[in-house]
Structure 1
Amino acid sequence: MTSTASAPRGTVHPWFRDTDRPDPASLRRLSAAETHELLHRELAGLSVPLDGPLPAQPFVVPQQSYEELFDIARTLLALVRRAVLALDGGWPGRIEALGADPDDYPLLSGQDNTETAYCSMMARPDIVIGENGPQLLEFNVGGTFGEPNETHGLTEVWQHTHRERFFGYDPLETRVRAFEDVCASRRLPRAIAIIGSLGDLLDTADIRFQERELEQFRRRGFTADFLEPDRLPEALGRPGSLRYPLGLRNFAPADWRERGQSLRPVHDAQRAGLLLLPPQSSGLLANKKALALVSEGLPWMTRAERRLAERHLPWTRITIPGRTRRHGQEHELPPLLLAQQERFVLKKAIGMMGREVLVGRYTEPADWRQAVESAFAASDSIVQEYVEPATCALELTDGTRTFTAQVAPVLSPMLFGNRPGGCWARFLTDGASGSASRGVISVGGAGASENAVLTWAGPTERPAAGTEEEGR
């Protein structure tokens, strides 16, 4: 849930606005109170902050802009995947090459072909609109990134609040379709266990959303159930004829280990034949060092791929001492970061919620110097060129009135098996946490608000660029 951007003060970018369409605010048919009540009723129990100003409309972008988000995400995800696969030593070797701790990957199956086939099955990048259009800042890859339920719920709300019916891909439906692809390619019965823990659920509202996820699978002909780890041995059945040959990993191993939850039942289920997706190898694609490899350019990248990376990926490098090229000139990397602090962002290669992010222009020089020296000593971080985000107008409501604000959203298009699966967004309002002053936009870390990104009704879903096993 992390991205870097300044508080909204950029300029309005034409990427956001279709001049041939009316202002979405003019199409709202519910009052501020009705909209506010509907948002609370639909979203209570999710991560969406409901105690401050709420969006009174979705982010509505032109169809070309909407589809561009998924095209960029799909292409750069493929490059990141290939960059990770190009590292030697199989998956254990790749963990070592990226400086990760092998103990953080306890559910790596040992089935390299399976890990490779599905490592990019579910992904959600963070994108801001810079001066030259979309800029991808980082990837969240795996089964535990949030916001599919939030995006689904927000989209449901916006279909009732406006006279115009907007369009958005449904993340919950698209995720089911990704599993349909797996069943078809592997000739598996449509039976899936969503594996999680009731300890991850905060209240009865959360259980309501768990049931919604199960219903999405059942509606498409799946036998589906939610299983806690202690129920796995009995519920799955004997090896070789599992009742649920597929498992959706709806938990982060690190979270379970922190609270003493054993992973042994899940590991045993894998050994008995359960195909747990997405596999834990997917976490390596979220390692920001992989993004830096693509930014720097790899020998196998075509000219077109290099141009696309240069256009949509901010200049990004691993914190290793030495010379590097930036905008056609050679630089020693550490002195460059110290001399032009305001131009850069420092991020841990593995991190979340903005806790390991420093934005140069919002950091005291002494703190920046210390962080840079530590990052280069440990080689555990990346440095990325700062992107000034463009703003757009958004109608907000406090339940009694509506008002328009200029906000700078972080856009997160979701991919499931290469299919577009809806777009979530977060943005800062005047009531956001003071941590926003250091340029980090996150829900958990800075109190950002959430919304869905939609487009004008009419587009038809284009064929995906291939399922996870096709074209390998």
Structure 2
Amino acid sequence: MNALTPSGTRAASGHPWFGSHQFAPAASADTVRQMLRHEIRDTGWPYQPLLPGAPLTLPRASYTELFRVTAALLDLIRRTALESAPDTAGRLAAYAMPESEHQLFVADQFTEERYADCVARPDVVIGENGPQFLEFNVSGALGGVVETHCRLEVWRRLYADDQGRLPFASQDPFAVRAGMFRDLVAELGVAPRLAVAGSARDQGVESARYFEIETDYLNNHGVTARFFEPEDLHEAWDCAPHLRYPLGLRNFTIPDWVDLGIDRAPVQAALDNGCLLVGTQTSTFLSSKLTMGLLSEGRPWMSTAERALVDRYLPWTRVLSQRWTNRGDQKVDLVRFAVDNRELLVLKESIGMSGKQVVLGRETEQAAWEAAVHRAAEAGTSVLQDFVAPLTCPQVMIADGADEAHEASVAPVFGPLLFGGRPAGIFARFFGDGTAGVVSVYGAGSSDNCVVAV
């Protein structure tokens, strides 16, 4: 059974933005479960006792709205970050970046800035007023790309008719990223040979399948690609000219490699010897939550339309320090306001991943909240953000050992993928058991899915 059926609970329990239809499972619970786990095997993806039984659906208008707004906000994010200082040294100081981030820049400033935003994924929840963009992840290593591709492969096989036609639409992130690289090859005038720089140690497994799924795809679609562990990366440039890899994907983060004790020197050597890995290190300024705070507060160059876009889609966000700021039509002492309004706010450090370095005011005792606020205000590298209560929609789920799927009410965090400005599919994370809190796929009860348009 693969019919698109009305869901009476969807509009009632959540928001009209979610639409009113969802797919029924297209095969038995055991078949769907086995297919999903087989496709994501050996990638280091955490075991999930609750798996989706069908793709998460959105009306086409809602689906496309996420990409339209993502592209517009990413442009504003980029402009905000780059205007913070005229060059890299100035930005490192302005953002008070840790020493670990003072590396892996390319020598040419224009190149560094030009290719910083090639790969992006915001985190979006649906509140009472529709989509709210909580943060922007701008990095070649952001999660959701492989996972969306793998989930989509399963749904395509299950829901295609005899002629291969599908009852839904969704971009394949691998296909879009391949198109982005073809454009970069043409723009840079280099050979279509791509190095994927990363490490299986990031994934916690011995297998390199997480990276090789994509390199296999590229090699089967007209682009030569190879995965390199850092110890082997010298082979991308220290060789005959026709064997070099002039372009590639930086599929790792500095904090992860610092934690794992992985040497970054081979990456710097590759960059210095003409292997451009995107997104460039300047992406760390775009990803910083300080940039969201600056944009939310407003920049002098913003037009009325840009200001309205930010007010509509970004929750109120402010860089936290001992100062006054605007809150609606009022001026408030920011630290005093934060202390007095714990349940309305979230405290976030400028750099953090997987829900780390996030303090939910409503889940924190007042004394601990006050201490965290004062520490953050002193450091000046955190933001306060309005807490957005995420609304729910139904999602068909399959539990371990269950013979049948069941419907659950979930509050998804949407991650629209944007590669080179092109929509590349939507990743969704949620607590499959209805738990509330900061959603991370590495947290207990977390599940994921890809999103399709109907």
Structure 1 length-normalised TM: 0.88
Could you report, residue by residue, the CA deviation over 1:52-79 in whole angstroms, capped at 9, with x for unpaired residues?
Answer: 1211111100001001111111111110
Q: Which residue identity lines up with residue 167 of structure 1 in the other structure?
A: A
Are the aligned partners of 1:344 and 1:360 in contact in 2 as well (CA < 8 Å)? yes
Deviation at residue 358 of structure 1 after TM alignment:
1.0
Could you report, residue by residue, the CA deviation over 1:100-127 in whole angstroms, capped at 9, with x for unpaired residues?
Answer: 1243231011311001101111111000
Match of 2:362 in 1: 361
Match of 2:7 in 1: none
CA distance in 2, matches of 1:200, 1:331: 43
Change (3 A) 1:253 1:336: closer
Are the aligned partners of 2:196 and 2:226 in contact in 1 as well (CA < 8 Å)? yes
Match of 1:16 in 2: 18
Match of 1:150 in 2: 147
- Kindly report which structure 2 residues correspond to 1:11-90, keeping only aligned pairs within 5 A, or say none: 11-18=13-20, 22-25=21-24, 28-46=25-43, 48-90=45-87
Q: Which residue identity lines up with residue 59 of structure 1 in the other structure?
A: L
CA distance in 1, matches of 2:416, 2:145: 10
CA distance in 1, matches of 2:387, 2:151: 30
CA distance in 1, matches of 2:271, 2:110: 15
Deviation at residue 240 of structure 1 after TM alignment:
6.7
Say yes or no: does 1:199 pair with 2:206.
no
Say yes or no: does 1:405 pair with 2:408.
yes
CA distance in 1, matches of 2:443, 2:374: 25
Q: Bigger relative contact order, structure 1 or 2, given CA contacts below 8 A and separation 6+?
A: 1
Deviation at residue 318 of structure 1 after TM alignment:
0.3
Match of 2:6 in 1: none
Say yes or no: does 1:425 pair with 2:398.
no
- Secondary structure of 1:180's counterpart equals helix
Are the aligned partners of 2:35 and 2:154 in contact in 1 as well (CA < 8 Å)? yes
Query: Structure 2: 5+ residue runs without aligned partners?
Result: 1-9, 161-165
Could you report, residue by residue, the CA deviation over 1:124-152 in whole angstroms, capped at 9, with x for unpaired residues?
Answer: 10000111110000011111111211000
Deviation at residue 198 of structure 1 after TM alignment:
3.8
Q: Which residue identity lines up with residue 249 of structure 1 in the other structure?
A: R
Deviation at residue 13 of structure 1 after TM alignment:
0.5
Structure 2 length-normalised TM: 0.91
Say yes or no: does 1:440 pair with 2:438.
yes
Q: Which residue identity lines up with residue 187 of structure 1 in the other structure?
A: G
Match of 1:470 in 2: none
CA distance in 1, matches of 2:66, 2:277: 28
CA distance in 2, matches of 1:237, 1:285: 32
Measured on the aligned residues, the alpha-carbon RMSD in Å equals 2.1
- Secondary structure of 2:371's counterpart equals helix
CA distance in 2, matches of 1:198, 1:402: 33
Change (3 A) 1:220 1:392: same
Change (3 A) 1:335 1:234: closer
Deviation at residue 222 of structure 1 after TM alignment:
1.6
Are the aligned partners of 2:48 and 2:446 in contact in 1 as well (CA < 8 Å)? no
Are the aligned partners of 2:107 and 2:272 in contact in 1 as well (CA < 8 Å)? no
Deviation at residue 258 of structure 1 after TM alignment:
3.2
Could you report, residue by residue, the CA deviation over 1:171-226 in whole angstroms, capped at 9, with x for unpaired residues?
Answer: 1111111111111111111011112234335446x433432211222233222111
Match of 1:380 in 2: 381
Say yes or no: does 1:141 pair with 2:159.
no
Change (3 A) 1:233 1:314: same
Match of 2:449 in 1: 451
Match of 1:130 in 2: 127
Q: Which residue identity lines up with residue 350 of structure 1 in the other structure?
A: I
Deviation at residue 431 of structure 1 after TM alignment:
7.7
Are the aligned partners of 2:197 and 2:249 in contact in 1 as well (CA < 8 Å)? yes
- Secondary structure of 1:221's counterpart equals coil
Deviation at residue 29 of structure 1 after TM alignment:
2.6
Change (3 A) 1:446 1:343: farther
Query: Structure 1: 5+ residue runs without aligned partners?
Result: 1-7, 457-472
Say yes or no: does 1:213 pair with 2:214.
yes
Match of 1:111 in 2: 108
- Secondary structure of 1:452's counterpart equals strand
CA distance in 1, matches of 2:236, 2:115: 24
Task: Give identity over the alignment, percent.
Answer: 41
CA distance in 2, matches of 1:289, 1:51: 33
CA distance in 2, matches of 1:260, 1:352: 18
- Kindly report which structure 2 residues correspond to 1:261-280, keeping only aligned pairs within 5 A, or say none: 261-280=262-281
- Secondary structure of 1:441's counterpart equals coil
